[in-house]
Structure 1
Amino acid sequence: RVCTTTRIGATYLEKIGDRLSMRFMRSQQWNSRTQARTNSSGGSWSMLSAAILSNRRIAARYSESLRQPFEVARSSAARGGMAGASTWAGTGLSQQDFMERDECLIVDESDVIVGTANKHDCHRFIPAQPRGLLHRAFSVFLFSPDGKLLLQQRAASKVTFPSVWTNTCCSHPLAGQDPNEVDSADRIADGSVPGIKAAAVRKLGHELGIPPDQVPAASFTFLTRVHYCAGDVHTYGPQAEWGEHEIDYVLFVRPMQPVSLAPNPDEVDDVRYVDRMELAAMMDPESGLRWSPWFRILADRFLDAWWLDLDATLEGSKHRDYDTIHHIL
Protein backbone atom coordinates (compact mmCIF):
# COMPACT_ATOMS: atom_id res chain seq x y z
CA ARG A 1 0.00 0.00 0.00
CA VAL A 2 1.46 3.31 -1.11
CA CYS A 3 0.76 6.31 1.10
CA THR A 4 0.76 9.84 -0.24
CA THR A 5 1.56 12.89 1.84
CA THR A 6 -1.37 15.15 2.70
CA ARG A 7 -0.74 18.23 4.79
CA ILE A 8 -3.45 17.91 7.38
CA GLY A 9 -2.71 20.88 9.61
CA ALA A 10 -5.57 22.33 11.57
CA THR A 11 -8.25 20.32 9.73
CA TYR A 12 -6.87 16.94 10.83
CA LEU A 13 -9.39 16.46 13.64
CA GLU A 14 -12.33 17.69 11.62
CA LYS A 15 -11.69 15.32 8.71
CA ILE A 16 -11.46 12.27 10.94
CA GLY A 17 -14.35 13.36 13.11
CA ASP A 18 -16.58 14.06 10.10
CA ARG A 19 -15.84 10.66 8.55
CA LEU A 20 -16.66 8.87 11.78
CA SER A 21 -19.77 10.94 12.37
CA MET A 22 -20.98 9.93 8.90
CA ARG A 23 -20.37 6.27 9.74
CA PHE A 24 -22.39 6.71 12.91
CA MET A 25 -25.27 8.35 11.03
CA ARG A 26 -25.30 5.51 8.50
CA SER A 27 -25.41 2.98 11.33
CA GLN A 28 -28.44 4.76 12.83
CA GLN A 29 -30.24 4.70 9.47
CA TRP A 30 -29.46 1.01 9.10
CA ASN A 31 -30.70 0.51 12.65
CA SER A 32 -34.10 2.03 11.84
CA ARG A 33 -34.56 0.18 8.54
CA THR A 34 -33.57 -3.17 9.99
CA GLN A 35 -35.76 -2.76 13.05
CA ALA A 36 -38.76 -2.06 10.84
CA ARG A 37 -38.09 -5.15 8.73
CA THR A 38 -37.55 -7.45 11.69
CA ASN A 39 -40.65 -6.18 13.52
CA SER A 40 -42.86 -6.65 10.47
CA SER A 41 -41.63 -10.21 9.95
CA GLY A 42 -41.69 -11.18 13.61
CA GLY A 43 -37.90 -11.31 13.81
CA SER A 44 -36.02 -10.66 16.98
CA TRP A 45 -34.52 -7.21 17.27
CA SER A 46 -32.41 -8.37 20.21
CA MET A 47 -30.24 -10.44 17.82
CA LEU A 48 -29.13 -7.23 16.13
CA SER A 49 -28.94 -4.85 19.07
CA ALA A 50 -25.48 -5.91 20.24
CA ALA A 51 -23.89 -5.18 16.86
CA ILE A 52 -25.61 -1.81 16.60
CA LEU A 53 -24.62 -0.77 20.10
CA SER A 54 -21.04 -1.79 19.34
CA ASN A 55 -21.07 0.39 16.23
CA ARG A 56 -22.38 3.31 18.27
CA ARG A 57 -19.71 2.87 20.92
CA ILE A 58 -16.96 2.85 18.29
CA ALA A 59 -18.21 6.06 16.69
CA ALA A 60 -18.71 7.77 20.04
CA ARG A 61 -15.28 6.67 21.26
CA TYR A 62 -13.55 8.10 18.20
CA SER A 63 -15.46 11.35 18.36
CA GLU A 64 -14.71 11.88 22.04
CA SER A 65 -11.06 10.90 21.82
CA LEU A 66 -10.25 12.85 18.69
CA ARG A 67 -12.19 16.05 19.32
CA GLN A 68 -11.46 16.80 22.95
CA PRO A 69 -8.32 18.58 24.11
CA PHE A 70 -5.46 16.21 24.78
CA GLU A 71 -5.35 17.04 28.49
CA VAL A 72 -8.82 15.51 28.79
CA ALA A 73 -8.25 12.68 26.29
CA ARG A 74 -5.17 11.50 28.12
CA SER A 75 -7.23 10.56 31.17
CA SER A 76 -9.19 8.04 29.09
CA ALA A 77 -6.30 5.60 29.40
CA ALA A 78 -6.90 5.32 33.12
CA ARG A 79 -10.54 4.45 32.49
CA GLY A 80 -9.30 1.73 30.11
CA GLY A 81 -7.41 -0.06 32.87
CA MET A 82 -3.85 1.02 31.99
CA ALA A 83 -3.44 3.79 34.50
CA GLY A 84 0.27 3.54 35.19
CA ALA A 85 3.50 1.72 34.51
CA SER A 86 3.23 0.02 37.88
CA THR A 87 -0.06 -1.56 36.73
CA TRP A 88 1.02 -2.12 33.11
CA ALA A 89 2.06 -5.75 32.81
CA GLY A 90 2.23 -8.16 29.92
CA THR A 91 1.84 -11.31 31.98
CA GLY A 92 -1.20 -13.32 30.95
CA LEU A 93 -2.28 -10.84 28.25
CA SER A 94 -2.61 -11.72 24.57
CA GLN A 95 -1.65 -9.59 21.59
CA GLN A 96 -5.35 -8.81 21.19
CA ASP A 97 -5.48 -7.62 24.81
CA PHE A 98 -2.69 -5.14 24.10
CA MET A 99 -4.43 -3.98 20.92
CA GLU A 100 -7.54 -3.13 22.94
CA ARG A 101 -5.92 -1.78 26.13
CA ASP A 102 -2.90 0.27 25.06
CA GLU A 103 -3.80 3.91 24.36
CA CYS A 104 -1.55 5.43 21.68
CA LEU A 105 -0.97 9.14 21.13
CA ILE A 106 -2.63 10.39 17.93
CA VAL A 107 -0.73 13.22 16.25
CA ASP A 108 -0.92 15.38 13.14
CA GLU A 109 1.91 15.50 10.60
CA SER A 110 3.67 18.13 12.69
CA ASP A 111 3.70 15.69 15.64
CA VAL A 112 1.19 17.73 17.62
CA ILE A 113 -0.92 15.49 19.85
CA VAL A 114 -4.62 15.65 18.97
CA GLY A 115 -6.03 12.75 21.00
CA THR A 116 -5.67 9.09 21.87
CA ALA A 117 -6.91 5.79 20.47
CA ASN A 118 -6.13 2.19 21.23
CA LYS A 119 -3.64 0.20 19.17
CA HIS A 120 -6.39 -1.69 17.38
CA ASP A 121 -8.00 1.47 16.05
CA CYS A 122 -4.66 3.11 15.19
CA HIS A 123 -3.48 0.19 13.07
CA ARG A 124 -6.67 -0.54 11.12
CA PHE A 125 -6.44 0.35 7.42
CA ILE A 126 -10.10 0.54 6.39
CA PRO A 127 -12.08 2.80 4.01
CA ALA A 128 -12.96 5.25 6.79
CA GLN A 129 -9.24 5.62 7.63
CA PRO A 130 -7.23 4.11 4.75
CA ARG A 131 -3.90 4.96 6.40
CA GLY A 132 -4.93 4.16 9.95
CA LEU A 133 -4.44 6.87 12.58
CA LEU A 134 -1.10 8.64 12.66
CA HIS A 135 0.47 8.08 16.08
CA ARG A 136 3.77 8.33 17.94
CA ALA A 137 6.19 5.42 18.06
CA PHE A 138 9.83 4.78 18.87
CA SER A 139 12.60 2.54 17.56
CA VAL A 140 15.44 1.51 19.87
CA PHE A 141 18.85 0.58 18.49
CA LEU A 142 20.78 -1.12 21.29
CA PHE A 143 24.49 -1.77 20.76
CA SER A 144 26.79 -4.09 22.67
CA PRO A 145 29.93 -2.64 24.30
CA ASP A 146 31.90 -3.72 21.22
CA GLY A 147 29.49 -1.95 18.85
CA LYS A 148 27.27 -4.75 17.56
CA LEU A 149 23.58 -4.06 16.99
CA LEU A 150 20.97 -6.21 18.70
CA LEU A 151 18.22 -7.31 16.30
CA GLN A 152 14.99 -9.10 17.06
CA GLN A 153 12.62 -11.21 15.00
CA ARG A 154 9.05 -10.32 15.86
CA ALA A 155 6.89 -13.17 17.14
CA ALA A 156 4.64 -15.02 14.72
CA SER A 157 1.70 -14.12 16.99
CA LYS A 158 2.05 -10.36 16.38
CA VAL A 159 -0.98 -8.82 14.68
CA THR A 160 1.08 -6.50 12.47
CA PHE A 161 4.23 -7.57 10.67
CA PRO A 162 4.64 -10.98 12.35
CA SER A 163 7.92 -12.89 11.98
CA VAL A 164 9.85 -10.00 10.42
CA TRP A 165 13.33 -8.98 11.52
CA THR A 166 13.79 -5.48 12.88
CA ASN A 167 15.80 -3.31 15.25
CA THR A 168 16.11 -4.02 18.97
CA CYS A 169 12.69 -2.81 20.06
CA CYS A 170 9.84 -0.95 18.37
CA SER A 171 6.70 0.20 20.16
CA HIS A 172 4.63 3.19 21.28
CA PRO A 173 4.54 5.70 24.13
CA LEU A 174 1.16 5.39 25.81
CA ALA A 175 -1.28 7.76 27.47
CA GLY A 176 -1.98 7.49 31.17
CA GLN A 177 1.34 5.96 32.22
CA ASP A 178 3.49 6.55 35.28
CA PRO A 179 6.22 7.60 34.59
CA ASN A 180 4.52 9.86 32.08
CA GLU A 181 5.21 8.88 28.45
CA VAL A 182 3.75 12.04 26.86
CA ASP A 183 6.41 14.51 25.70
CA SER A 184 5.64 18.20 25.23
CA ALA A 185 6.98 20.30 22.36
CA ASP A 186 9.61 21.76 24.70
CA ARG A 187 10.94 18.33 25.66
CA ILE A 188 11.16 17.38 21.99
CA ALA A 189 12.91 20.63 21.06
CA ASP A 190 15.61 20.16 23.70
CA GLY A 191 16.04 16.47 22.83
CA SER A 192 15.36 15.17 26.32
CA VAL A 193 12.11 13.29 25.39
CA PRO A 194 11.72 11.70 28.86
CA GLY A 195 8.37 10.16 27.91
CA ILE A 196 9.72 8.34 24.87
CA LYS A 197 12.69 7.11 26.90
CA ALA A 198 10.43 5.88 29.71
CA ALA A 199 8.39 3.94 27.16
CA ALA A 200 11.60 2.46 25.72
CA VAL A 201 12.72 1.24 29.15
CA ARG A 202 9.28 -0.30 29.74
CA LYS A 203 9.19 -2.16 26.44
CA LEU A 204 12.80 -3.37 26.54
CA GLY A 205 11.83 -5.08 29.78
CA HIS A 206 8.57 -6.45 28.40
CA GLU A 207 9.86 -7.72 25.05
CA LEU A 208 13.44 -8.71 25.84
CA GLY A 209 13.57 -9.03 29.61
CA ILE A 210 16.24 -6.35 29.96
CA PRO A 211 16.19 -4.99 33.54
CA PRO A 212 15.55 -1.24 33.79
CA ASP A 213 18.76 -0.63 35.72
CA GLN A 214 20.75 -1.90 32.72
CA VAL A 215 19.12 0.63 30.36
CA PRO A 216 18.31 3.73 32.45
CA ALA A 217 16.45 6.47 30.62
CA ALA A 218 19.45 8.79 30.87
CA SER A 219 21.54 6.40 28.77
CA PHE A 220 19.46 6.86 25.60
CA THR A 221 20.31 9.31 22.82
CA PHE A 222 17.42 10.71 20.80
CA LEU A 223 18.42 11.37 17.17
CA THR A 224 15.47 12.32 14.98
CA ARG A 225 11.91 11.51 13.87
CA VAL A 226 10.67 9.67 10.78
CA HIS A 227 7.10 9.76 9.47
CA TYR A 228 6.24 6.67 7.43
CA CYS A 229 3.23 4.59 6.45
CA ALA A 230 3.08 0.92 5.41
CA GLY A 231 0.31 -1.65 5.05
CA ASP A 232 1.14 -5.23 6.03
CA VAL A 233 0.60 -6.58 2.54
CA HIS A 234 2.77 -9.67 3.04
CA THR A 235 0.53 -10.96 5.82
CA TYR A 236 -2.85 -9.66 4.67
CA GLY A 237 -2.54 -9.14 0.92
CA PRO A 238 -2.64 -6.02 -1.30
CA GLN A 239 -5.76 -4.66 0.42
CA ALA A 240 -4.27 -5.15 3.88
CA GLU A 241 -6.54 -4.03 6.69
CA TRP A 242 -3.61 -3.70 9.11
CA GLY A 243 -0.54 -1.52 8.95
CA GLU A 244 1.61 1.17 10.53
CA HIS A 245 1.34 4.94 10.21
CA GLU A 246 3.74 6.51 12.66
CA ILE A 247 6.03 9.33 13.60
CA ASP A 248 8.92 7.22 14.82
CA TYR A 249 11.42 8.53 17.39
CA VAL A 250 14.87 7.00 16.89
CA LEU A 251 16.81 6.14 20.06
CA PHE A 252 20.39 4.84 20.31
CA VAL A 253 21.79 3.23 23.46
CA ARG A 254 25.00 1.36 24.27
CA PRO A 255 25.13 -0.01 27.83
CA MET A 256 28.62 -0.22 29.30
CA GLN A 257 28.11 -3.89 30.19
CA PRO A 258 26.34 -6.66 28.21
CA VAL A 259 22.62 -6.66 28.96
CA SER A 260 20.69 -9.63 30.31
CA LEU A 261 18.30 -11.07 27.72
CA ALA A 262 15.18 -13.12 28.42
CA PRO A 263 13.02 -12.68 25.28
CA ASN A 264 9.26 -12.84 25.75
CA PRO A 265 8.00 -15.58 23.36
CA ASP A 266 4.74 -13.70 22.85
CA GLU A 267 6.73 -10.77 21.46
CA VAL A 268 10.02 -12.11 20.08
CA ASP A 269 10.94 -15.28 18.16
CA ASP A 270 14.70 -14.71 17.92
CA VAL A 271 17.48 -12.25 18.72
CA ARG A 272 20.90 -11.70 17.21
CA TYR A 273 23.86 -9.34 17.61
CA VAL A 274 25.36 -8.28 14.27
CA ASP A 275 28.10 -6.05 12.93
CA ARG A 276 27.61 -3.96 9.82
CA MET A 277 28.79 -6.68 7.43
CA GLU A 278 26.58 -9.31 9.04
CA LEU A 279 23.57 -7.01 8.83
CA ALA A 280 24.25 -6.38 5.13
CA ALA A 281 24.32 -10.14 4.51
CA MET A 282 21.06 -10.64 6.40
CA MET A 283 19.37 -7.87 4.42
CA ASP A 284 20.51 -9.26 1.08
CA PRO A 285 17.41 -10.42 -0.85
CA GLU A 286 19.07 -13.80 -1.30
CA SER A 287 18.84 -14.40 2.45
CA GLY A 288 15.08 -14.82 2.23
CA LEU A 289 14.58 -12.86 5.45
CA ARG A 290 11.75 -10.35 5.78
CA TRP A 291 12.22 -6.97 7.46
CA SER A 292 9.93 -4.42 9.05
CA PRO A 293 9.22 -1.42 6.80
CA TRP A 294 10.39 1.08 9.42
CA PHE A 295 13.73 -0.69 9.84
CA ARG A 296 14.25 -0.83 6.06
CA ILE A 297 13.69 2.92 5.83
CA LEU A 298 16.12 3.63 8.66
CA ALA A 299 18.71 1.15 7.41
CA ASP A 300 18.56 2.36 3.81
CA ARG A 301 18.70 6.09 4.59
CA PHE A 302 20.39 6.69 7.94
CA LEU A 303 21.82 3.74 9.83
CA ASP A 304 25.18 3.34 8.11
CA ALA A 305 26.28 6.93 8.85
CA TRP A 306 25.02 6.76 12.42
CA TRP A 307 26.77 3.44 13.02
CA LEU A 308 30.08 4.46 11.44
CA ASP A 309 30.20 7.41 13.86
CA LEU A 310 28.75 5.44 16.77
CA ASP A 311 30.73 7.17 19.53
CA ALA A 312 29.86 10.64 18.25
CA THR A 313 26.26 9.61 17.61
CA LEU A 314 25.82 8.36 21.17
CA GLU A 315 27.52 11.42 22.62
CA GLY A 316 25.14 13.63 20.66
CA SER A 317 27.90 15.53 18.90
CA LYS A 318 26.81 14.29 15.44
CA HIS A 319 23.59 13.32 13.67
CA ARG A 320 21.19 14.91 16.15
CA ASP A 321 18.23 16.50 14.40
CA TYR A 322 15.42 17.21 16.83
CA ASP A 323 13.61 19.72 14.65
CA THR A 324 13.18 17.70 11.47
CA ILE A 325 10.45 15.16 10.84
CA HIS A 326 11.57 13.11 7.84
CA HIS A 327 8.38 12.44 5.85
CA ILE A 328 9.10 9.23 3.92
CA LEU A 329 5.84 8.17 2.34
Structure 2
Amino acid sequence: MKEEEKVILVNENDEQIGLMPKLEAHQKAVLHRAFSVFVINNKNELMLQQRAHHKYHSPGLWTNTCCSHQRDGESNMDAGKRRLQEEMGFVTALKDSVSFIYKAPFDNGLTEHEYDHVLIGSYEKDPVINPDEVADWKWMPIEEVKNDIIKHPEIYTEWFKIIFDKFYSHITL
Protein backbone atom coordinates (compact mmCIF):
# COMPACT_ATOMS: atom_id res chain seq x y z
CA MET A 1 0.00 0.00 0.00
CA LYS A 2 1.27 3.46 -0.92
CA GLU A 3 2.12 5.65 2.06
CA GLU A 4 -0.20 8.63 2.36
CA GLU A 5 1.39 11.88 1.27
CA LYS A 6 2.41 14.14 4.15
CA VAL A 7 2.00 17.89 4.28
CA ILE A 8 4.43 20.31 5.92
CA LEU A 9 3.02 21.79 9.12
CA VAL A 10 4.06 25.42 9.61
CA ASN A 11 3.60 28.25 12.07
CA GLU A 12 2.27 31.67 11.07
CA ASN A 13 5.77 32.66 9.90
CA ASP A 14 5.84 29.72 7.44
CA GLU A 15 8.50 27.95 9.53
CA GLN A 16 8.29 24.16 9.37
CA ILE A 17 7.19 22.59 12.67
CA GLY A 18 6.40 19.03 11.56
CA LEU A 19 4.79 16.68 9.04
CA MET A 20 1.33 15.11 9.02
CA PRO A 21 -0.63 12.88 6.63
CA LYS A 22 -2.63 15.13 4.26
CA LEU A 23 -6.08 13.79 5.14
CA GLU A 24 -5.39 14.08 8.88
CA ALA A 25 -4.27 17.72 8.45
CA HIS A 26 -7.54 18.46 6.64
CA GLN A 27 -9.57 16.62 9.30
CA LYS A 28 -7.87 18.52 12.15
CA ALA A 29 -7.67 21.89 10.33
CA VAL A 30 -3.94 22.16 11.07
CA LEU A 31 -1.99 24.98 9.38
CA HIS A 32 0.18 23.59 6.57
CA ARG A 33 2.14 24.85 3.57
CA ALA A 34 0.54 24.88 0.12
CA PHE A 35 0.87 26.60 -3.24
CA SER A 36 -1.45 27.84 -5.98
CA VAL A 37 -0.15 28.17 -9.56
CA PHE A 38 -1.64 30.74 -11.94
CA VAL A 39 -0.62 30.35 -15.59
CA ILE A 40 -1.39 33.31 -17.86
CA ASN A 41 -0.99 33.63 -21.64
CA ASN A 42 -0.02 36.68 -23.69
CA LYS A 43 -3.72 37.61 -24.13
CA ASN A 44 -3.98 38.08 -20.32
CA GLU A 45 -6.09 34.93 -20.02
CA LEU A 46 -5.82 32.63 -17.04
CA MET A 47 -5.69 28.86 -17.52
CA LEU A 48 -8.41 27.44 -15.26
CA GLN A 49 -8.91 23.81 -14.33
CA GLN A 50 -12.03 22.02 -13.23
CA ARG A 51 -11.11 19.64 -10.42
CA ALA A 52 -11.76 15.96 -11.08
CA HIS A 53 -15.20 14.85 -9.89
CA HIS A 54 -13.79 12.14 -7.58
CA LYS A 55 -11.58 14.51 -5.50
CA TYR A 56 -12.33 14.26 -1.78
CA HIS A 57 -12.89 18.01 -1.48
CA SER A 58 -14.07 20.63 -3.95
CA PRO A 59 -14.81 18.04 -6.70
CA GLY A 60 -15.93 19.48 -10.03
CA LEU A 61 -15.23 23.08 -9.00
CA TRP A 62 -13.25 25.51 -11.15
CA THR A 63 -9.98 26.84 -9.80
CA ASN A 64 -6.55 28.18 -10.72
CA THR A 65 -4.22 26.26 -13.05
CA CYS A 66 -3.08 23.87 -10.32
CA CYS A 67 -2.42 23.72 -6.61
CA SER A 68 -1.12 21.27 -4.07
CA HIS A 69 1.28 20.86 -1.17
CA GLN A 70 5.05 21.03 -1.07
CA ARG A 71 6.86 17.86 -0.01
CA ASP A 72 9.38 17.82 2.81
CA GLY A 73 12.54 19.57 1.56
CA GLU A 74 10.94 20.69 -1.74
CA SER A 75 11.04 24.37 -2.76
CA ASN A 76 7.87 26.24 -3.76
CA MET A 77 9.09 26.46 -7.37
CA ASP A 78 9.98 22.77 -7.62
CA ALA A 79 6.63 21.81 -6.09
CA GLY A 80 4.73 24.09 -8.49
CA LYS A 81 6.54 22.67 -11.52
CA ARG A 82 6.02 19.08 -10.31
CA ARG A 83 2.25 19.55 -9.96
CA LEU A 84 1.94 21.46 -13.24
CA GLN A 85 3.49 18.45 -14.97
CA GLU A 86 1.38 15.93 -13.00
CA GLU A 87 -1.94 17.72 -13.43
CA MET A 88 -1.66 19.75 -16.63
CA GLY A 89 1.08 17.96 -18.60
CA PHE A 90 3.55 20.84 -18.99
CA VAL A 91 6.16 22.85 -17.10
CA THR A 92 6.95 26.55 -17.31
CA ALA A 93 9.04 29.03 -15.35
CA LEU A 94 7.29 30.30 -12.20
CA LYS A 95 7.78 33.34 -10.00
CA ASP A 96 6.74 33.86 -6.39
CA SER A 97 3.98 36.42 -6.03
CA VAL A 98 2.25 36.71 -2.66
CA SER A 99 1.59 34.42 0.33
CA PHE A 100 -1.33 34.34 2.74
CA ILE A 101 -3.02 32.20 5.38
CA TYR A 102 -6.61 31.09 4.93
CA LYS A 103 -9.03 28.70 6.56
CA ALA A 104 -11.96 27.25 4.62
CA PRO A 105 -14.30 24.53 5.96
CA PHE A 106 -15.93 22.16 3.46
CA ASP A 107 -19.34 20.48 3.46
CA ASN A 108 -17.72 17.06 4.08
CA GLY A 109 -16.28 18.08 7.47
CA LEU A 110 -12.74 18.70 6.21
CA THR A 111 -11.02 22.07 6.49
CA GLU A 112 -8.25 23.65 4.45
CA HIS A 113 -6.01 25.73 6.74
CA GLU A 114 -3.12 26.74 4.57
CA TYR A 115 -0.15 29.04 4.30
CA ASP A 116 -0.57 29.42 0.53
CA HIS A 117 2.18 30.61 -1.84
CA VAL A 118 0.84 32.08 -5.09
CA LEU A 119 3.11 31.25 -8.05
CA ILE A 120 2.72 32.90 -11.46
CA GLY A 121 3.82 31.52 -14.83
CA SER A 122 3.35 32.12 -18.55
CA TYR A 123 2.38 29.55 -21.20
CA GLU A 124 0.85 29.74 -24.67
CA LYS A 125 -0.07 26.17 -25.59
CA ASP A 126 -2.89 23.86 -24.54
CA PRO A 127 -2.28 21.56 -21.59
CA VAL A 128 -2.49 17.76 -21.72
CA ILE A 129 -4.64 17.20 -18.64
CA ASN A 130 -4.39 14.22 -16.33
CA PRO A 131 -7.98 12.89 -15.96
CA ASP A 132 -7.16 11.53 -12.48
CA GLU A 133 -6.68 15.14 -11.34
CA VAL A 134 -8.53 17.38 -13.80
CA ALA A 135 -12.01 17.08 -15.36
CA ASP A 136 -11.68 20.01 -17.79
CA TRP A 137 -9.77 23.23 -18.46
CA LYS A 138 -10.17 26.55 -20.27
CA TRP A 139 -8.50 29.90 -20.91
CA MET A 140 -10.50 32.82 -19.50
CA PRO A 141 -9.70 36.57 -19.52
CA ILE A 142 -8.65 37.61 -16.00
CA GLU A 143 -11.28 40.38 -15.84
CA GLU A 144 -13.95 37.87 -16.86
CA VAL A 145 -12.82 35.46 -14.13
CA LYS A 146 -13.13 38.21 -11.52
CA ASN A 147 -16.67 39.05 -12.66
CA ASP A 148 -17.75 35.42 -12.98
CA ILE A 149 -16.65 34.67 -9.39
CA ILE A 150 -19.00 37.44 -8.23
CA LYS A 151 -21.88 36.11 -10.38
CA HIS A 152 -21.33 32.36 -9.78
CA PRO A 153 -19.30 31.86 -6.58
CA GLU A 154 -20.65 28.33 -6.10
CA ILE A 155 -18.72 26.96 -9.10
CA TYR A 156 -15.27 28.03 -7.79
CA THR A 157 -13.00 26.66 -5.03
CA GLU A 158 -12.81 28.56 -1.76
CA TRP A 159 -9.09 29.35 -2.01
CA PHE A 160 -9.48 30.61 -5.57
CA LYS A 161 -12.23 33.05 -4.49
CA ILE A 162 -10.06 34.26 -1.59
CA ILE A 163 -7.03 34.79 -3.84
CA PHE A 164 -9.09 36.75 -6.38
CA ASP A 165 -10.81 38.81 -3.70
CA LYS A 166 -7.66 39.76 -1.79
CA PHE A 167 -4.81 39.46 -4.26
CA TYR A 168 -6.28 40.26 -7.66
CA SER A 169 -3.70 43.02 -8.21
CA HIS A 170 -0.83 40.51 -7.75
CA ILE A 171 -2.07 38.11 -10.46
CA THR A 172 -0.01 39.55 -13.28
CA LEU A 173 3.23 38.69 -15.01
1:209 and 2:89 are equivalent in the alignment: yes
- Give 1:265 deviation, angstroms: 1.1
- 1:9-35 CA distances to partner (integer Å, 9 max, x unpaired)? xxxxxxxxxxxxxxxxxxxxxxxxxxx
- Give 1:250 deviation, angstroms: 0.7
Aligned equivalent of 1:170: 67
Aligned partner of 2:7 among 104, 108, 120: 104
- Matched residue of 1:114: which SS? strand
Aligned equivalent of 2:100: 226
Distance 1:288 1:116, change over 3 A: closer
Structure 1 residues not aligned, in runs of 5+: 1-80, 82-96, 182-194, 315-329
- The code of the aligned residue for 2:106 comes to D
Aligned equivalent of 2:140: 274
- Give 1:223 deviation, angstroms: 1.4
1:231-310 aligned at under 5 Å gives the runs: 231-233=105-107, 236=108, 240=109, 242-255=110-123, 258-285=124-151, 287=152, 289-303=154-168, 305-307=169-171, 310=172
Q: Larger % of strand: which?
A: 2
Runs of 4+ with >2 A deviation: none
- Give 1:300 deviation, angstroms: 0.9
Structure 2 residues not aligned, in runs of 5+: none
Higher relative contact order (CA 8 A, sep 6+): 2
1:199 and 2:73 are equivalent in the alignment: no
- Matched residue of 1:150: which SS? strand
CA contact (8 A) 2:153 2:161 kept: no
- 1:213-263 CA distances to partner (integer Å, 9 max, x unpaired)? xx1xxx211112110011112xx2xxx2x12110000111113xx234111
CA contact (8 A) 1:225 1:247 kept: yes
- Matched residue of 1:123: which SS? helix
Work out the CA distance in 1 between the residues paired with 2:142 and 2:98: 21
- Matched residue of 2:155: which SS? coil
- Give 1:107 deviation, angstroms: 0.7
TM-score (norm 2): 0.91
Work out the CA distance in 1 between the residues paired with 2:154 and 2:141: 17
1:139 and 2:19 are equivalent in the alignment: no
Work out the CA distance in 1 between the residues paired with 2:155 and 2:43: 26
Aligned partner of 1:152 among 41, 46, 49: 49
- Give 1:151 deviation, angstroms: 0.6
Aligned length: 173
TM-score (norm 1): 0.50
- The code of the aligned residue for 2:49 comes to Q
Q: Larger % of helix: which?
A: 1
- The code of the aligned residue for 1:198 comes to D
Aligned equivalent of 1:120: 23
Distance 1:173 1:145, change over 3 A: same
Aligned equivalent of 1:7: none
